[in-house]
Each structure stands twice: as C-alpha cells, then as structure tokens.
C-alpha cells in the first residue's frame, strides 16, 4: 500500500471526480462513488476548475507523490504505524474550515486510509505538518480499535489535540494550525463550561457532536479542536509521554489537568 498513484487517475479523469471515486469503492465498503465524493468534498477535495488544475500541475512539477511517500515511510517507521493507502488529490478552492492556517492544504483520516488535499506550497514543511497530523489520527484510531459510532465528543477533541501536539513536537510552533491560538485562555475556560463540559459523552453520530467539534450556529468556529489542543498542552506541562503512548492512552486520562 502506501502512496497510491492518484496522479495517473487524475491524468485520465480529472474532469470526472466521481469516476475517480469509483476507483475508491474497494476502500469504502458498501458506499457509492457519489457518496464518497460528497464526503471527500466536505474535507477539501477539489471540484474541476482552473484553480484545481493549477494545483494538480504544481503537485506534478514538485513530485508531491514521491515527497509524501518519503514522509509517510519516515513516520510509519518512527511510530511503528500501520500500513495504509495514502491518496493525494488537488485541494478545493480556499475557504474551508480544514484549510490549515489558510496555507492551502487539508486532509481526512480513517483507521485504514488517509487522504491529503494539496495545492501550491512554498514551504515543504507545511506538507509534513499535514501528514503528521493526519497519520497521528490513523495510528490512534487503529490502536484504539473502536467502532466509529462509539467515539464520543471527548474522544474527538482529544484526537485532534494530540495530532496537533505531534505537529508541534515534530515540525515546530510555526506550523501549528490557526485554531490552536484562535481563542484566549479565558475564552477557552468560558466556552468549556458553557458548551463542552456537559456534552463530552455525546456520540459521534448524535446530533450536536459535529457542531461542538467544528463550530456552527451559536458554537464558535472549530471550538472542539481549539479546546482539544488546550487540554493536551496543559497535560504535557506535567506529563511526558512518547508519541507511541499517545496512540493508546484513554481520552479521559487527559482531563486530569483540566
């Protein structure tokens, strides 16, 4: 597995991403190509456009597939992580929640696969930061081995906080996502008490989970992400665990310093 050569798929079917998603059917059991595409769009996958074609051309010129493969192999060995397929596609036009620091990259991870959406990057370390975040997700999801419907809001915010803390440790503070510093400590404490504290057991597929994690309505933007990073930062002031241990420590343990 490892890096799947989606550059070949894009060469043939750039203008028909649903046809591309038909090639993903073996990786999404029981889903249809249209549903897969809709899901990936929500996390940053391109729609055919001149901008997307420019992103694809940049990815080809800069050998993005080869570079991501090197990074994937580096962290797979470093973390003793699982062997998974990694898919690269051009990024959608800017503006989504998941575009890190407005520097034009996004991703989504599953226990058994990972998608990275890329565009023009002046700094290759930005791509490493994205891979670190997403592959940390893969490792933790794989090690926890829970059904997706059993994950709670607490699980979700801790997963996001841990992944971005891994970015801090491996890439440096300048590569952290914007949501890490989006709110002051005072705001975090206020929002924790007002919105999050009593909803930690909300299941992933229950109403309210995604709104609390991503923001929306009266919930501030990416609140769950920001609170997750805040929790992990406080935990690591007093505790020092290896990255490998962060894949298996239960989410509730990280609340000790909250």
Which one, of 133, 117, 220, lies nearest residue 177 by Cα? 133
pLDDT digits over 41-98, tens only? 999 999 999 999 999 999 999 999 999 999 999 999 999 999 999 999 999 875 544 4
- Domain co-membership, 70 together with 180: no
Please give the Cα distance from 183 to 55 (Å, whole number).
Answer: 32
Task: From 144, 161, 185, give the residue that closes a domain.
Answer: 144
130 and 19, same domain (yes or no): yes
Kindly state the helix (H) or strand (E) to which residue 233 belongs, with its residue range: helix 223-238
34 shares a domain with 116: yes
Q: What is the pLDDT of residue 31?
A: 97
Give the closest residue to 37 by CA, choosing from 138, 143, 108: 108
d(CA 201, CA 222): 18
Question: What is the domain count for the chain?
Answer: 2
Q: Are 181 and 227 in contact (CB under 8 A)?
A: no
Mean pLDDT, rounded, for 169-183: 95
- Whether residue 74 is found in the same domain as residue 180: no
119 Cβ contact list (under 8 Å, min separation 6):
51, 54, 55, 58, 90, 91, 104, 105
Provide the percentage of residues in the chain whose pLDDT is more than 90: 84
Do 134 and 209 fall into the same domain?
A: no
Residue 175 CA to its chain's centroid (Å): 14
Q: In this structure, are 68 and 114 located in the same domain?
A: yes
Determine the straight-line distance between the first and last CA of the chain, rounded to whole angstroms. 40
The verdict on 69 and 171 lying in the same domain is no
Buried b (16+ CB within 10 A) or exposed e, 137-166: bbbbbbbbeeeeeebbbbbbbbbbbbbbbb
Let me know whether 107 and 170 are in one domain.
no
Over residues 174-192, mean pLDDT: 96
Band (pLDDT 50/70/90 cuts) for residue 258 is low
CA dihedral defined by 81, 170, 175, 42, rounded to 10 degrees? 10
Q: How far apart are CA 90 and CA 119, in angstroms?
A: 6
Nearest to 183 by CA among 155, 208, 158, 219: 219
**Same domain membership, residue 160 and residue 131:** no
Look up residue 176 and give its two tokens. Answer: 């952290």
SS3 104: coil
Where does a domain end: 105, 122, 144?
A: 144
The stretch 173-181 carries a mean pLDDT of: 95
130 and 198 together in one domain? no
Q: Are residues 126 and 70 in the same domain?
A: yes
Q: Report pTM.
A: 0.93
Domain termination residue (choose one: 144, 177, 193): 144
pLDDT at 94: 59
| Domain shared by 152 and 195, yes or no | yes
Contacts by residues 9-14 (CB-CB < 8 Å, ≥ 24 positions apart): 10/56, 10/89, 10/90, 14/48, 14/52, 14/53, 14/56
Domain of residue 201: give its range: 148-257
Structure confidence at residue 241 (pLDDT):
81
């Amino acid at each position: 597995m490892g890096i799947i050569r989606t550059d070949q798929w894009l060469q043939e079917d750039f203008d028909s991403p649903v046809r591309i998603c038909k090639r993903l059917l073996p990786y999404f059991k029981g889903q249809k190509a249209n549903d897969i595409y809709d899901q990936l769009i929500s996390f940053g996958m391109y729609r055919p456009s001149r901008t997307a074609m420019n992103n694809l051309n940049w990815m080809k010129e800069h050998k993005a597939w080869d570079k991501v493969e090197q990074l994937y192999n580096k962290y797979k060995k470093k973390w003793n992580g699982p062997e998974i397929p990694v898919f690269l596609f051009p990024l959608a036009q800017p503006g989504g929640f998941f575009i890190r620091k407005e520097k034009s990259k996004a991703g989504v991870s599953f226990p058994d696969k990972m998608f990275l959406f890329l565009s023009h990057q002046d700094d290759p370390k930005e791509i490493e930061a994205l891979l670190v975040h997403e592959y940390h997700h893969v490792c933790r999801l794989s090690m926890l081995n829970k059904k997706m419907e059993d994950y709670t809001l607490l699980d979700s915010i801790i997963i996001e906080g841990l992944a971005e803390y891994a970015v801090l440790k491996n890439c440096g503070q300048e590569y952290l996502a914007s949501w890490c510093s989006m709110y002051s400590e005072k705001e975090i404490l206020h929002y924790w008490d007002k919105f999050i504290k009593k909803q930690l057991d909300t299941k992933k597929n229950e109403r309210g989970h995604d709104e609390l994690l991503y923001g929306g309505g009266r919930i501030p933007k990416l609140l769950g992400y920001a609170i997750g990073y805040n929790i992990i930062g406080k935990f690591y002031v007093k505790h020092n665990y290896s990255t490998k241990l962060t894949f298996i420590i239960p989410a509730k343990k990280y609340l000790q310093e909250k």
